[in-house]
Chains A and B, each alone.
Chain A
């Protein structure tokens, strides 16, 4: 594929490309992770090219899923003038899912992404984060699974942003001062045409990519089997979700949990005194807030098929429940059963939106 090369480190090279697009009136804004003066890492929509020096698109931290953020930007209408969005593969996949459920519009958005080595956990303290950053970049060539990464990132095999217009290969690259921009779509080509940089041809797939894929597939197997989901049963679920404090942070940061008000917090969920009394008399005791396991299972049922495995849910859980690993595991089973890849193809309908009577016959039911 057509590629241009810029003799700078990734973030600087991306800044150059975006500056070119700004200066040639090809874009009107940039959506990217930035580092603010107060030290915070946050996604931002930038309309002033002077602020481009603040963007850090490849910095390995995901304070929010960018797919969810772009959805907030475009939920009612498409952006009118082109905006370049720099985001991670799982964030782009989440955004695709959100488009399918009419929560986002892609018109006038140019997507720039990169082969992703994962992000560091939001739970790391500031000094821990500073320590891990160097190790992270040192290992980007080999895709070594360093400590401090989100667990879902260590087992993510969908780390190539196949739907992005421009793809920057990071995995397998030594931390050199050269960055490639592969034009993955015609749109990407159109935007980059005219840039006076070294031209070449490059492929996304490489031996290094394949090696990383293998490593992560192995890791996925390990995580899946450690979870022992099949043996979990009711008691097991009580043990896993028992320490949930019903803060519903997993819902609020999940990119594909898009309801404005979740049922669990709705008025329908409130119980009349008589209902409490009946349940109390039946069981002798009841935990309040109630329906905690039900909440997690229903959420799993609602979003499992769309789950892109970004891992935001686990990162924000105050009681360290491995929600993301559970959701990714079950989600993948659901996706395999329904032959569905979330975020892959806009034309591919969401299984929950399509009902075929034959589906019920075909569903494999496992029995003990």
Chain B
């Protein structure tokens, strides 16, 4: 059975009235999310695309920000996209009523810029990569992602492809919604093979090692203002990272608003006088740090920011590095559970004393 056939079966049983999934664009070199109820169109969808040009959570935000859809939608997305959507639901930017998620084991995606140039080169091996996870040239964020399967994700239906051989499809129901849908299909549910769990563990170990290595490389690069300034030296302040970020949902960022972009000339001149000069655009580093403090607890490490950076600043890497520490600090995992509140919303006066006057550990 293929994923497409499974979707078809769901539609036959009227489990859903529409499907939201990636579709290859007519010119062939990229993918876009489409909401579909036309059967022929649905049959053309590509549930497991090798790139993620636009995070699905952002698509779901556009679709449901003004209210829940009146019909049931099956959303097929990468694990990180679903986790981002759950975070957006907590922030009331996405409405999950009538939405059912279908996720799959994700080997990672390729940088969009690379894929667009030579789609065929990447396409040929991807079917195999989906089963083996053996591949190269992924987004850096993907190589350090440890939530690539059904663990730590609030999904409904999960397709297991890692370690599954042949044409068999291992489908798991991970919520009541998921169980109902699968129940409607009269399928005999298979038991997960031990081989699969082994493979998951191997991949996780590898990713954890990648993570540790990358983070230890980044740490000295971002320590102190001078280093941070160098890290973002090539930034031209286009704010692409923010606009493609699935979590950054403000319609207008403070750094694009009149409050920062329309101020008196004297303000700039007096700031220039303090140090002898002021860079234009202004506040480039402050933008990144401000954005980080706002969204980093919910950062799911999709890497869309780095993918869209006009200057190849490794912006996702520093955001992942910071998110790792911040989320551990609050014992918070974004996208795990909709009931789990974002820590900034649960502020109490008596907390985090161990971090007061914190000094860097040797």
Contacts and interface: CB of A to CB of B under 8 A. Distances in A.
A359 interface: no
B26 A319 contact: no
A74 B273 CA distance: 17
A34 interface: yes
Interface string B202-243: 000000000000000000000000100110011111111001
A249 B240 contact: yes
Interface stretch (A43-51, A135-143, A208-216, A345-353): A43-51
Interface in B17-35: 18, 20, 23, 25-27, 29-30, 32-35
A346 to B, nearest CB: 20
A243 B54 CA distance: 10
A277 B258 CA distance: 35
Contact of B261 (A31, A79, A260, A274): A260
A78 B265 contact: yes
A269 to B, nearest CB: 9
A46 B277 contact: yes
A123 B309 CA distance: 10
Contacts of A42: 279-280, 284
Contact of A315 (B230, B235, B310): B310
Interface string A60-81: 0001100001001111111110
A297 interface: no
A318 B308 CA distance: 5
Contacts of B112: 245, 318-319
B307 A318 contact: yes
A243 B277 contact: no
A324 B64 CA distance: 33
B72 interface: no
Contacts of A72: 261, 280-282
A17 to B, nearest CB: 18
B89 interface: no
A33 to B, nearest CB: 10
Interface of A: 29, 31, 34, 36, 38-40, 42-48, 50-51, 63-64, 69, 72-80, 122-123, 125-126, 235, 238-239, 242-243, 245-249, 252-253, 260-261, 265-267, 270-274, 276-277, 280-281, 283-290, 315-320
Given A245-B112, A287-B23, 7 more contacts: A42-B284, A45-B280, A64-B280, A79-B269, A239-B26, A242-B27, A284-B41
19 contacts: A39-B230, A45-B278, A47-B272, A51-B277, A64-B281, A72-B281, A73-B280, A78-B265, A80-B265, A122-B311, A245-B112, A246-B54, A252-B239, A260-B262, A270-B66, A273-B69, A280-B35, A287-B32, A319-B112
